[in-house]
A = this chain, B = another copy of it.
Amino acid sequence: MPDRTASAPNEADRFARAREKQAVALLEDYVELIGDLIAEAGEARVADIAHRMGVAQPTATKTVGRLKREGLATARPYRGVFLTEAGAALANRVRARHRTVVALLKAVGVPEATAELDAEGIEHHVSEKTLAAFEAFLKDRQA
């Protein structure tokens, strides 16, 4: 019986939430990268994914397998990797969020290079509400 369903989350809940976010972070990165590769080169090859992610090729293969299991990507053996509709939608959301996070960091005075670096880790923990606040802040500021 959940005794705090609608109230403020306690510490344990916050940690649990952060753990969940972390679990999907990698999938988000892969999906975004695959989308980029398809846009850039017309196709996403496992070797390119591995290279851009900075991991060994079998690691990329294994993770692509996980993307398939999660319904985010499709792939025929020895051929390229493609995004499902869900995968493409996720890629777009992730890309937009990434841009917003970088923009916000820069807006509060973080140097561009550092903003890009830190955004890679931060973005996965930015909720819809926080993202909306970021966008509002940026809009205000440029007005």
Chain A residues with a Cβ under 8 A of chain B:
8-9, 11-18, 21-22, 25, 29, 33, 51-55, 104-105, 108-111, 113-118, 120-122, 124-127, 129-130, 133-134, 136-137
Alpha-carbon gap, A115 to B129, bound state (A)? 9
A137: which B residues are within 8 A, CB to CB? 108-109
Contact of A117 among B9, B105, B110, B120 (CB under 8 A): B9
B-side contacts of A18, CB under 8 Å:
25, 120-121
Shortest CB-to-CB span from A39 to chain B, Å, is 14
Q: Given that A104-B108, A110-B130 are contacting pairs, would A122 and B122 also be in contact in the complex, using a CB cutoff of 8 Å?
A: yes
Contact of A12 among B54, B108, B127 (CB under 8 A): B54
A121 to B124, Cβ gap below 8 A? Answer: yes
The answer to whether B126 and A114 have CB atoms under 8 Å apart is no
Known contacts A105-B133, A108-B137, A110-B129, then 20 further A-B pairs from the complex at CB < 8 Å, ordered by chain A residue: A11-B52, A11-B53, A12-B53, A14-B117, A15-B120, A17-B117, A17-B120, A18-B120, A21-B121, A22-B22, A108-B134, A109-B133, A109-B136, A114-B133, A115-B130, A117-B127, A118-B130, A121-B125, A122-B125, A125-B125
